[in-house]
Amino acid sequence: MALNIQKLLPQTLKIIIPLFFGLMCYYHISTIMAGAGDEILFLHDLNYIRSHGWVSAIAKNIGVTYLLIAYPFTYIFSDYVALRFTNVLLLALLVLYFYKIGEVKNRMFGFYLMFICGFGFFLSGTNDTLFIVAMLIFFNEVYKLIQDKEKASIPLLWSSLFVAFFTRELIYVYIPLIILCLFLVKKKTNLLHQWYISASVLVFLLVINIPCIEQNHHFSYDDKKPDSSVKSTWAQRQYLAQLLVNEGKIPNQTHPSWAETDAYLKLHGENSLPRTTGEGIFFDLKLTFLEFFKDFTSTVFLSIRQTAMMYIIVISYLVYALFRRRKITTDLLLPFACLYIVATFSFIIISFVEPRWLLVAYILAILYYSDLEFEKKLPKIVLQFNHLVLLLTILYGSYKVMLKL
């Protein structure tokens, strides 16, 4: 009976995951309004480019790498469709990369990837998808090098890292992890192999950022600053959100308005809230550590929604391997990266951690889990349990979506 279940669950998932993916894509396409969330920022930037030109737009701060890719499609589609179509292409390129270059071993990985993509992160017209794709390619090339695979591409490793660096300021969170990765692979290969390819990518990205560098002394990133009349910052708004949630004044995973944040600062003083994320970490250390443990625990638990048990299994495997070996080995870099990303965001973000910030960690966990599954390094009961949770997650998610359609 156990053998039948072992064969039945994967075969069932191969049928039901594509159906779930189609249902979820239909749901997101039919319900996400044009300009929803951060998409409105990129729509405004496209209009600004048309009315003021690229140089002025870059100097103003825009997500230049993403918009350079998306802009040509605005001659074919409406702006919001062009942004979303760009992300669909980027996702398709990621899948092509994994199966043509990334040397994926386990065929189930494609189905696992399809499952997490069903939650529609790539169907919103923002630069999140470009950043996620670039970081995944970088980490996978590092992963291949650590496994002593000769087909790892050094130019692709550097180029994907450069693209990620110039796409979102979020890259700064990853810097310690990136340094660790480069230090480890430096011992296994010549990181300057075909240096002129990645150097050309870097020079191009630097050149297109010159207008912003000259005017603002930093690279051109998407700017989510509110209207100039607003005195508060995003960090202050997020910090106040957590204070109000803890006091029971607003629901969890919501923010006060800009006007409410400004009013709070006027009533309690300009220094009553930290102006930056960095200041927020040290503003109230007791609150920082309290929220870290709360956010980390809830984030790991909620990862079940996007990865079934795969993220939890990979982190558990890391802890088990460290306990058993009593030493750190390079083959554990990928699960360590998964842990680092979730733990770091849980620590630096005082308010709620958004799942889209963690997608790199989640997909890396899926990749590592699929290798553990392929190499038979996990007990059969663990594999069966994960498949069962994945199936139940799909059925429950499909039921909830059908009620909304």
pTM reported for the whole predicted model: 0.93
Sign for the CA dihedral angle at 299, 303, 309, 313 comes to: negative
Say which amino acid occupies 318: L
> Rounded to an integer, what distance in angstroms lies between the CA atom of residue 224 and that of residue 222?
6
Q: Which residues contact 202 (CB under 8 A, 6 or more apart)?
A: 158, 162
Q: Which two structure tokens, joined as six digits, stand for 17?
A: 């995951």
CA distances for 257 relative to 40, 64, 249, 291, 300, angstroms: 17, 28, 13, 22, 29
Q: Which two structure tokens, joined as six digits, stand for 60?
A: 């103003």
pLDDT value at residue 4: 64
The CA-based dihedral angle spanning residues 160, 170, 333, 155, taken in that order and rounded to the nearest 10 degrees = 10
| Centroid of chain to Cα 58 | 24
Other C-beta atoms lying within 10 Å of the C-beta of residue 312: 18
CA distances for 94 relative to 100, 117, 148, 374, angstroms: 10, 12, 22, 21
pLDDT value at residue 298: 92
Q: Which two structure tokens, joined as six digits, stand for 391?
A: 């199936």
> Rounded to an integer, what distance in angstroms lies between the CA atom of residue 377 and that of residue 400?
35
Q: Which residues contact 333 (CB under 8 A, 6 or more apart)?
A: 142, 143, 146, 180, 181, 184
Closest CA to 132 of 73, 174, 103, 75: 174
Angle, vertex CA 400, rays to CA 395 and CA 403, nearest 5? 125
> Rounded to an integer, what distance in angstroms lies between the CA atom of residue 186 and that of residue 330?
12
Q: Which two structure tokens, joined as six digits, stand for 170?
A: 């979020």
Instruction: Answer whether 168's CB lies under 8 Å from 127's CB.
Output: yes
Per-residue tens of pLDDT for the chain, all 405 residues: 445 666 788 899 999 999 999 999 999 888 888 877 788 999 999 999 999 999 999 999 899 999 999 999 999 999 999 999 999 999 999 999 998 888 888 889 999 999 999 998 888 999 999 999 999 999 999 999 988 766 788 999 999 999 999 999 999 999 999 999 999 888 778 888 888 999 999 999 999 999 999 998 899 988 777 777 788 888 888 888 888 888 888 888 788 888 888 899 888 888 888 888 888 888 888 999 999 999 999 999 999 999 999 999 999 999 999 888 777 778 899 999 999 999 999 999 888 788 889 999 999 999 999 999 999 999 999 999 999 999 999 999 999 988 887
Query: Helix 359-374 and helix 285-307: axis angle, to 10°?
Result: 50
CA-based R_g, the chain, Å: 22
